[in-house]
């Protein structure tokens, strides 16, 4: 009888753990879907802040989740017309000043995108968080005045991802990603994303100000601020072509 009782306890604990993990995944998916939608158009400003200088870029962004994105730089003048295209796991850059199309090789995926703290790899993999990681609620916390779930995400064995662990603060109300910590495979914290300025954009409430802070570069950060967002717009995969990179406006 004791053995049977212990077996039932183990079954119940396993079932509860699986249920809790599934709940964590649902929370991450809700937060991810809310910020992205099936498709989107955005106008935003990217500001790179370093100890002795800063630089801003204005851009237009089209996305068809999870495989396609096109980013057009509209200012300053020296960068205007530069385009980055993501198609599944591949990234190309169109540089109008030299009339060249450049495919980013795997060896350069961890390099900075447009001098920011975002990498080429960030552009490719940021939509894979839901399926490429095991998710678990590890505690509850308050961040920036919001009651949050703190969710630990560990990569699946077969997942081709960079990070060894993610910790995300997701608000219980509205399912907002408010903070994400990125850890490398060996354990140290590499960078933190903090979201703020929660506003209604199109049909939803989302943070519109994102700060990406690297932990090995004091005084440096990248700020992404959205001025306009439209979700679930009509977009076809054919829009995300190398031909369109040269003519999109």
**Least trusted range by pLDDT, from 53-57, 103-107, 118-122, 185-189:** 118-122
Q: Is the pLDDT of residue 63 over 50?
A: yes
> What is the Cα–Cα distance from 162 to 32, expressed in whole angstroms?
19
> What is the Cα–Cα distance from 49 to 214, expressed in whole angstroms?
11
Calculate Rg over the CA atoms of the chain: 20
Segment 78-87 mean pLDDT: 94
Strands (E) in the chain, as ranges, are 39-50, 53-64, 68-75, 83-87, 90-95, 100-103, 133-143, 146-155, 165-171, 177-183, 189-201, 204-214, 221-231
The sign of the torsion formed by the CA atoms of 120, 124, 126, 129 equals: negative
More confident residue, 201 or 14: 201
Q: Which residues pair with 225 in a beta bridge?
A: 45, 209
Q: What pLDDT digit, counting tens, does each position of 11-44 carry?
A: 433 333 334 588 999 999 999 888 888 899 999 9
User: 6-245 has which fold?
Assistant: outer membrane lipoprotein receptor (LolB), chain A (2.50.20)
Domain ranges of the chain: 6-245
Assessment of whether the complete model's pTM goes beyond 0.85: yes
* Ramachandran angles phi, psi of 104, nearest 5°: -80, 115
- The pLDDT > 90 percentage for the chain reads 73
> Using alpha carbons only, what angle is made at residue 148 by residues 147 and 154, rounded to the nearest 5 degrees?
170
Total Cβ atoms within 10 A of residue 44: 18
> What is the Cα–Cα distance from 164 to 153, expressed in whole angstroms?
9
Confidence tier at 94 by pLDDT (50, 70, 90): very high
> What is the Cα–Cα distance from 179 to 116, expressed in whole angstroms?
19
**Widest CA span of the chain, in angstroms?**
79
Confidence tier at 10 by pLDDT (50, 70, 90): very low
Q: Which residues pair with 188 in a beta bridge?
A: none
């Amino acid at each position: 009888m004791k053995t049977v009782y212990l077996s039932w306890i183990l079954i119940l604990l396993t079932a509860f753990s699986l249920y809790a993990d599934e709940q964590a995944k649902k929370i991450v998916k809700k937060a991810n879907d809310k910020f992205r939608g099936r498709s989107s158009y955005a106008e935003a400003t990217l500001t790179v802040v370093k100890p002795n200088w800063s630089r801003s870029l204005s851009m237009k962004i089209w996305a068809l989740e999870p495989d396609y994105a096109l980013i057009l730089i509209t200012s300053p003048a020296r960068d205007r017309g530069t385009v980055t295209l993501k198609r599944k796991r591949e990234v190309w850059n169109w540089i109008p000043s030299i009339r060249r199309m450049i495919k980013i090789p795997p060896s350069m995926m961890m390099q900075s995108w447009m001098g920011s703290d975002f990498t080429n790899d960030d552009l490719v993999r940021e939509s894979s968080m839901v399926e490429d990681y095991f998710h678990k609620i590890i505690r509850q916390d308050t961040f920036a005045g919001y009651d949050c779930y703190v969710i630990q995400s560990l990569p699946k064995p077969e997942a081709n991802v960079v990070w060894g662990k993610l910790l995300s603060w997701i608000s219980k109300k509205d399912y907002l990603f408010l903070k994400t910590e990125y850890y490398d495979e060996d354990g140290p914290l590499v960078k933190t994303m903090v979201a703020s300025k929660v506003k209604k954009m199109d049909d939803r409430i989302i943070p519109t100000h994102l700060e990406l802070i690297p932990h090995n570069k004091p005084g440096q950060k990248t700020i992404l601020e959205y001025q306009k967002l439209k979700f679930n717009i009509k977009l076809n995969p054919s829009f995300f072509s190398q031909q369109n990179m040269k003519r999109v406006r």
